[in-house]
Copies of this chain bind each other. A is one copy, B any other.
Amino acid sequence: MDDRRGPHLLFLTDEQLKKGIEAMFFAYKGFTADPDRILEQYGYGRAHHRAIHFIHRSPGTTVNNLLAILGVTKQSLNRVLRTLVEDGLVESRVGTRDKRERHLVLTEKGQALEADLAEAQRARMRAAYREVGPEAVDGFRKVLEAMMDPDMRRHFNALKDPE
């Protein structure tokens, strides 16, 4: 309601916040557009992409861990995972230390699709980054991280950082 608040001097009006919210909405569309086009050719959806992405990112991850990262139910994930295993993109290996666990890894075929999807998505990100410069990118990442729920931030930070 009020436009200016906060402890020091404040720079963010509700209108400016609203523009940020809208930017997020429009940008997310662009963010998913390129991989979506590729996935369509394979008869896959975004859920498949997410599974492939995080399995690639943490090879050998367990189903439970993946569930926590994606924040969906096991029934939902299982549907996706089953088709990926059937199609030979993902391999599910029985755990050695704990045989109840299944460790998920991408097959060669899975890695090929992952590379395809990742490159498409990176291309847009790279173009955007290049357009706006390194300082902007730093700010972008900082705001995004600050917007995450604590649990998600934990998962985000657990993913290995670029050296």
Contacts and interface: CB of A to CB of B under 8 A. Distances in A.
Interface in A115-139: 118, 121-122, 124-132, 134-139
A125 B21 contact: yes
Given A21-B125, A29-B149, A129-B17, A11 B143 contact: no
A143 B128 contact: yes
Tallying the copies of this chain within the complex gives 2
Interface stretch (A73-81, A92-100, A101-109, A154-162): A154-162
B159 A131 contact: no
A17 B126 contact: yes
Q: Is the interface of A mostly helix, strand, loop or mixed?
A: helix
Interface residues of A, number: 63
Contacts of A65: none
A127 B5 CA distance: 12
A153 B26 contact: yes
A129 B33 CA distance: 27
A24 B144 contact: yes
Nearest to A141: B23
Contact of A145 (B12, B17, B23): B23
27 contacts: A11-B134, A11-B137, A12-B129, A18-B122, A20-B129, A21-B31, A21-B53, A21-B121, A23-B145, A23-B148, A24-B144, A25-B50, A27-B152, A29-B71, A29-B149, A30-B147, A33-B149, A127-B146, A128-B143, A129-B146, A132-B139, A132-B146, A135-B135, A136-B140, A139-B140, A139-B142, A140-B143
